[in-house]
Amino acid sequence: MGRQRLTNPELVDRFRQWLVCQRYSRGARETYDRVAGKFLRYWGRRSFSRVRPHHIQDFMTELSRRDLSGEVVRRHLWALRSFFDFLCLRGVVDKVAPRLVRPRPERRRLLRALSEANVRRLIDAAGNPRDRAILELFYATGCRLGELVNIRLEHVDFVRRTILVRGKSGDRRVFFGLTAKGRLREHLRGRRVGYLFESQYLVQNGCVSWNGSYLCGYWLDYRDGSGIPRQRCVALGPASLGSARAWRKFRRLVPNPDEGHVRKKPHPLTRTCIAQIFKEAAFRAGLGKVTSHTLRHSFAAHLLDNGADIRHVQELMGHTSLASTNRYANVASIPISRAYRNFHPRR
């Protein structure tokens, strides 16, 4: 009896499961699944075995009309290659059409790193102990964003000052100094279990606001037991009531706005939350756009500036190829400037 033929949506669903089995990172799974879904909507019910390279080109042209960057277009192509590799393994197609499409060569930009003084300004500009600990640990370890958010306290050795991180190239140990240790202790305040940086579930207090006609009290109502909150509003009075009296009236009418809210188990901070931390700290420090990868670049560049061996930096960064680490040699300025001044005849 032959194998049952799957529909196109079923194949996309199996592809999603295959990505999990292949241990792709969460970010890669989400991107590849999204691109496969886009191609499914573009291709419709026709068999994937009829896809040819010019169909892939037409699909990429449709994407380009949205004024996507070259990097995003290349990621779409990589996702399609992975999807058609999966289809080939299942015997759905006998040729991987996306691999016959060549993107425009990528112009590799020079990586940006902050100076040591600007790193200090960034960390000092963080608004609370948790944010300062996050920024300090990024700079101390050179971790990727996905690695840092998934660190658990069981993986942190405060005696040897090492952390076991699970990266896309396997597990490795990273190191942190006394400054980072102090920031972490200040953030944890004695906590010993769970994620190193957990989401904070604060009690909902509601808010009082002017809606254009009168003062109102707003809160999320969880009392129906479904877990889905409903936004509620209660009129409090005219503007002449004043903020303090409006809050007292709101507390009298709604004594416990958080009633019925069942707290979930703590989970790690999201990427969006980390990005917001960087955005706010960089704004306060006046440094323009700074991301977690900017601190990762700074980590590598400053190690090389201070004489670290590039092989050691490769291990600390978790790079499988030395060519990836070599990109940071262009960011590290001190060895290059020293060589120029030592050897150029008109220095």
The pLDDT, as a whole number, for residue 330 is 62
As given in the structure block, the two tokens for residue 181 are: 């240790």
* pLDDT attached to residue 28: 86
173 and 278 housed in the same domain = yes
Do 280 and 188 share a structural domain? yes
Residues 279 and 228 in one domain: no
Residue 145 domain flag: yes
- Separation of alpha carbons 44 and 46, rounded Å: 6
Residues 25 and 168 sit within 8 Å (Cβ to Cβ):
yes
What is the Cα–Cα distance from 183 to 10, expressed in whole angstroms? 49
Looking at residue 310, its amino acid is I
Residue 181 and residue 145 share a domain:
yes
β-partners of residue 167 are 170
Position 74 scores a pLDDT of 85
Mark whether 146 and 278 lie in a shared domain.
yes
Question: Do 226 and 181 share a structural domain?
Answer: no
Do residues 108 and 327 touch, judged by C-beta distance below 8 A? Answer: yes
pLDDT number for residue 334:
52
What pLDDT score does 2 carry?
41
Domain-located, residue 298: yes
Q: What is the pLDDT of residue 24?
A: 84
- Is the pTM of the predicted complex or chain greater than 0.85? no
What is the reported pLDDT for 67? 67
CATH value at residue 169: 1.10.443.10
Please say which residue of 67, 100, 133 terminates a domain: 100
Number of separate domains in the chain: 3
> CA 181 to CA 161: how far, in whole Å?
7
| 41-48 long-range contacts, CB within 8 A, separation 24+ | 43/8, 44/8, 45/7, 45/8, 47/8, 48/8, 48/11, 48/84, 48/87, 48/92, 48/93
Q: Judge whether 106 lies within some domain.
A: no
Of 50, 75, 100, at which residue does a domain stop?
100
Structure tokens at 296: 């990762």
12 with 88, same domain: the answer is: yes
What is the rounded distance in angstroms from the CA atom of residue 85 to the CA atom of residue 162?
Answer: 39
Residue 174: domain span: 116-199+268-341
- Identify whether residues 86 and 152 lie together within a single domain: no
Give the contacts of 65 (CB within 8 A, at least 6 positions apart).
none
In a domain, 189, yes or no: yes
CATH number, domain containing residue 60: 1.10.150
Q: Is 146 exposed, middle or buried (0-12, 13-18, 19+ CB in 10 A)?
A: middle
Residue 128 and residue 237 in one domain: no
Mark whether 73 and 191 lie in a shared domain. Answer: no
Residue 219 shares a structural domain with residue 195: no
Instruction: Starting at the earlier edge strand, list the strands of the sheet with 156-157.
Output: 156-157, 162-167, 170-175
- 167 and 249 fall within a common domain: no
Structure tokens at 227: 């877990």
Q: Quick check: is 259 in a domain?
A: no
Does residue 136 lie within any of the structural domains? yes
Quote the pLDDT of residue 1.
37
**What is the pLDDT tens value at each position of the chain, 347 positions in all?**
344 688 999 999 999 999 998 888 778 898 999 999 999 999 999 999 999 999 999 998 888 777 677 778 888 999 999 999 999 999 999 989 999 988 777 776 767 888 899 999 999 999 899 999 999 999 999 999 989 999 999 999 999 999 999 877 778 899 999 999 999 999 998 888 889 998 866 677 888 988 888 899 999 888 887 777 888 999 999 988 888 999 999 999 999 888 888 767 778 888 888 999 999 999 999 998 999 989 998 998 888 888 888 888 888 888 888 777 777 766 655 555 666 567 657 65
The pLDDT score that the predictor gives to residue 333 is 56
pLDDT at 344 (0 to 100): 59
Give the 3-state secondary structure of residue 268: strand
The answer to whether residue 302 is domain-embedded is: yes
Decide which of 56, 71, 100 is a domain's last residue: 100
Q: How far is CA 201 from the centre of its chain?
A: 20
Closest CA to 173 of 147, 211, 205, 197: 147
CA–CA distance, 69 with 75 (Å, rounded to integer): 10
Residue 260: inside a domain:
no
